Amino acid sequence: MPSVRNTIGGRHGEPSGEQRYRAINPAKLGDVIAEYPFSSTGDIDQAVEAARAAFPAWRGRTAAQRAEILMKAGALLQAQAATLGALMTREMGKPLAEAVAEVGYAGRVLQFYAAEAQRPIGEVLASGRPDVHYYTQREPIGPVGLITPWNFPFSIACWKLGPALITGNTAVWKPAPHHPFCSQALLDYLMDAGLPDGVVNLVHGGAEAGAAIVGNHALPGIAFTGSTPVGQAIFRSVSDRLGRAQCEMGGKNGLYVHAAADLARAAGLAVEGGFRSAGQKCTATSRVLVDRAILPAFSEIFLDRVNALKVGDPLAPDVFLGPVVDDRQFAKVRAHIAQAADEGIAIAAGGLNRPQDGGYFVAPTVFTDVAPTARIAQEEVFGPVVALIPVAGLDEAISVLNATEYGLSSTIVTNDLRAAQRFARDVECGVINVNLPTAGVEMHAPFGGWKGSGLGAPEQGLKIMDFYTHWRSVAMNFS
């Protein structure tokens, strides 16, 4: 079994904490990927010091020099997508085709940010004072802490590394512990592409290592993706020490099937959003709201499709959903299902019977006739579970969608332009889709949740550049 190494200042070494972690293939529980210690606070301090030491030289490079490295690393990821995708499938259970696509996409994200090297980093202002050259300019904020979850091992890391690096920041990166070799591979490719030692420092660990990064005053910025309670605590703690935080968090995304929808299309979109990646996307569809007039017709098509989905080995090409990621997630998703069943909510598909042994498999599950206030309609499950909620029409759909603590992504399926426009205007969330799944945003669009789904600048696209940079205004009197 290869060993799991931190990479600090370009040197590889075993993490030195006392807590040990066992990474397991969630589809084959006998397949142990690695057993390794988490990083200690001392490891984190060393990583921060390495990022601090590397900052002046990295900042001093031209953006074009930094871009060359991101371009190359992006090309390496794309060239290795098949191998890295298979590694990801083994480490966290994402079906192979989705995993391969994610690696290629992550490579393109690095290249998207590389292209920013050619764009303006400031503007010239007209001064009211004679003979004053007045301009603005972005500056990197320094070494930053990046904390990422397990559900997109490559692309979420690249959403953060791309903008952080192109703007001249260095980083301490702590990914989720489930996929240590995916994380190492990503850093190895960046270094193969020419990234200097210490510019990105990879530290393996869990909550404690994350908290040590968050609390380190030498990191003026922390970018986090993960659950809402953790993100909220990070945002508060970093603000308290006058740092800045950017947190992408949970969701309870809804897809609304309007009376004027194409029902087959709506069912396809609900299946796609609800069950791809076993529902483990922050933008997964976990509520499907349906106008009562079309509820029987929609339910018949939708449930037929759900019951036909194949669950199993994520390496098999005909499998739609693999396992959930680990024992904790398995227990959590099953507890949500059991709790909703105990409340007397009807199950129309799936449930607690295991669709396959040997891994953390959960059957695609649909609850019907769910009240909007039920826990299964309010709390993030992060698994293959959908609550069908009948509504009286567009107005009720909008108010039900808005009545959760989250605000990430929503979809309306309709052929009615007025309904689509009202939906796009009145639903309180950062991503709106019309006749598209709740999951999936293009890399150049800002992606940020409202309410409990996001704090700070939206990720992706160019809005995030404001998080990784300070603005400096320069007034120069040349009279």
Catalytic machinery residues: 248, 282
Q: Does 274 bind ligand NAD (CB under 6 A)?
A: no
Of 419 and 464, the one with the shorter C-beta distance to ligand NAD is 464
HEC assignment per residue over 78-112: HHCHHHHHHHHHHHHCCCHHHHHHHHHHHHHHHHH
* CB 4, CB 179: distance < 8 Å: no
User: CA separation (Å) from 63 to 74, 109, 138, 351, 395?
Assistant: 16, 16, 12, 53, 49
Q: Does 49 bind ligand NAD (CB under 6 A)?
A: no
Q: How many Å apart are CA 67 and CA 78, to the nearest integer?
A: 16
Q: How many Å apart are CA 281 and CA 285, to the nearest integer?
A: 9
Q: Which of 91, 98, 248, 313 binds ligand NAD (CB under 6 A)?
A: 248
Q: Does 249 bind ligand NAD (CB under 6 A)?
A: yes
Q: How many Å apart are CA 197 and CA 203, to the nearest integer?
A: 14
Provide, rounded to whole angstroms, the least separation between the CB of residue 397 and ligand NAD.
22
Q: How many Å apart are CA 245 and CA 222, to the nearest integer?
A: 5
Of 66 and 336, the one with the shorter C-beta distance to ligand NAD is 336
Q: Which of 207, 297, 308, 335 binds ligand NAD (CB under 6 A)?
A: 207
Of 184 and 453, the one with the shorter C-beta distance to ligand NAD is 453
What value, to the nearest 5°, has the Cα angle with vertex 341 and ends 335 and 342? 85
Of 71 and 202, the one with the shorter C-beta distance to ligand NAD is 202
Q: Does 147 bind ligand NAD (CB under 6 A)?
A: yes
* CB 453, CB 224: distance < 8 Å: no
Q: Does 279 bind ligand NAD (CB under 6 A)?
A: no
> Which residues contact residue 239 at a Cβ distance below 8 angstroms, ignoring those fewer than 6 apart?
245
Provide, rounded to whole angstroms, the least separation between the CB of residue 437 and ligand NAD.
15
434-438 long-range contacts (CB < 8 A, ≥24 apart) are 435/265, 435/269, 435/411, 436/269, 436/411, 437/255, 437/269, 437/272, 437/273, 437/285, 437/411, 438/253, 438/254, 438/255, 438/273, 438/283, 438/284, 438/285, 438/409, 438/410, 438/411
Q: Does 102 bind ligand NAD (CB under 6 A)?
A: no
Q: Does 330 bind ligand NAD (CB under 6 A)?
A: no
Q: Does 282 bind ligand NAD (CB under 6 A)?
A: yes
Q: Which of 149, 390, 437, 461 binds ligand NAD (CB under 6 A)?
A: 149
Q: Does 445 bind ligand NAD (CB under 6 A)?
A: no
Dump the DSSP string for 134-145.
EEEEEEE--EEE
Of 174 and 305, the one with the shorter C-beta distance to ligand NAD is 174
Q: Does 367 bind ligand NAD (CB under 6 A)?
A: no
Q: Which stretch binds ligand NAD (CB under 6 A): 245-253, 314-322, 335-343, 464-472?
A: 245-253
Q: Which stretch binds ligand NAD (CB under 6 A): 10-18, 29-37, 242-250, 258-266?
A: 242-250
Q: Pick out residues in 175-204 that bind ligand NAD (CB under 6 A).
A: 175-176
Upper half-sphere CA count for residue 10 (Cβ side, 13 Å): 10
Q: Does 456 bind ligand NAD (CB under 6 A)?
A: no
Of 69 and 439, the one with the shorter C-beta distance to ligand NAD is 439
Footprint of ligand NAD (CB under 6 A): 147-151, 156, 174-176, 206-207, 210-211, 214, 225-227, 230, 234, 248-251, 282, 380, 382, 408, 449, 453
